[in-house]
Amino acid sequence: MSDIKYTSELTVTLEQQAGDDDFVVQTARVSTGLDQVAYALANTGKIKGLINYLMKKRHGSPFEHNIFTFRIEAPIFVAREAMRHRIASYNEVSGRYVQLEPKFYIYPDERPMKQQGSSAHPELVSHEDSEHHERSNARKRRVHDLAWEMYQEDIADGTALEAARDVLGVGIFTTWYVSMNARGLMNFLSLRVDAEGNAFETKPQYEIQVIAEQMSAFFAEAMPLTYAAFEKNGRVAP
């Protein structure tokens, strides 16, 4: 099983981005016929103030005229969580057409693993047993090793890829592209990042928050005024 890779690294890359803070203001000003007036975009203070006003009053449509496309590599169970957000476009690698890579997820030491509280409102905390992670990951490795062996045997026996893949669990890595505008991205981040300034409580799964925080960093760099207004107004999507 030397070809199998185990990792806790979840990666996000920004493949393309169009639109910026200025364009939010430009599209908003079309309502008063001033979208093509050069001075309307010249004053950073005015841009900041208008963006904050739009965010505060939840005038969301000016934030829709831009695009972010991310390429994400993460286990299937994280992809399925992400794809519940339907205000986005997705394309994912297909196990019908290509052999999936022997790359599986294991939990990093800092990942909370013990559940407490009710099933309706669970809270995950760090396990008091320092060796718990090691045992849990060892069990997952045994399952993944066997699943990968069966997958390879099935393919070698002439089974179609789409039929052979069903033995692989949701811990195997997948790759997908997701495109969304800034309004959709803020909706995603408001639910998938447990930040101190959140107006509404959210309890995202650890792995999807790792992904969301990487997306958030790209967003903050590309549209700093919009991101600042998002944070200032409780991280609520307009």
- Cβ contact 82:189 at 8 Å: no
Model pLDDT, residue 86: 86
Residue 120 within a domain:
no
* Cβ pair 181, 66 in contact under 8 A: yes
For 35, the domain range is 5-106+172-232
- Answer yes or no: are the C-beta atoms of 79 and 176 closer than 8 Å: yes
Is 148 inside any structural domain? no
The pLDDT assigned to 175 comes to 98
Contact 110, 54 (CB under 8 A): no
Is 192 noted as a catalytic residue in this protein?
Answer: yes
E strand or H helix that includes residue 12? strand 11-18
Confidence of residue 130 (pLDDT cuts 50, 70, 90): confident
Region 94-104 average pLDDT? 97
* Average pLDDT taken over every residue of the chain: 92
- Rounded alpha-carbon distances, angstroms, from residue 132 to 110, 113, 136: 12, 9, 6
Look at residue 120 in the predicted model and tell me its pLDDT: 67
Q: Is the pLDDT of residue 82 over 50?
A: yes
Tell me, what CATH number does 54's domain have? 3.30.1360.170
Is 131 domain-assigned? no
The pLDDT of residue 37 is 65
The answer to whether residues 74 and 8 touch, using CB atoms and an 8 Å cutoff, is no
- Specify the number of domains making up the chain: 1
Please report whether residue 216 resides in a domain. yes
Query: How far is residue 204's CA from residue 84's CA, in Å, rounded to a whole number?
Result: 13
The predicted pLDDT at position 1 comes to: 44
Identified catalytic residue from 165, 183, 192, 235: 192
Rounded Cα distance, 44 and 224, in Å: 12
Q: Which has the minimum average pLDDT: 76-90, 107-121, 210-224? A: 107-121
Q: Is residue 39 scored above 60 in pLDDT?
A: no
| 123 occurs within a structural domain | no
- Note the pLDDT of residue 114: 87
Cβ partners under 8 Å of residue 48, min gap 6: 225, 228, 229
The pair of three-digit structure tokens given for residue 199, joined into one six-digit string: 């107006």
Asked whether residue 118 carries a pLDDT value surpassing 80, the answer given is: no
Check whether 41 has a pLDDT greater than 60.
no
Q: Is residue 74 part of a domain?
A: yes
| Residue 117 maps to a domain | no
pLDDT (tens digit per residue) in 161-188: 999 999 999 999 999 999 999 999 999 9
| 45 CB burial (10 A radius; 0-12, 13-18, 19+) | exposed
Cα separation, 10 vs 158, in Å, equals: 33
SS3 169: coil
What span, in angstroms and rounded, lies between the C-alpha atoms of 135 and 163? 31
Q: Name the residue with tokens 């650890």.
A: 206
Radius of gyration (C-alpha) of the chain in whole angstroms:
22
Q: Is residue 113 in some structural domain? A: no
| C-alpha distances in Å from residue 85, one per residue of 14, 93, 164, 190 | 18, 18, 29, 12
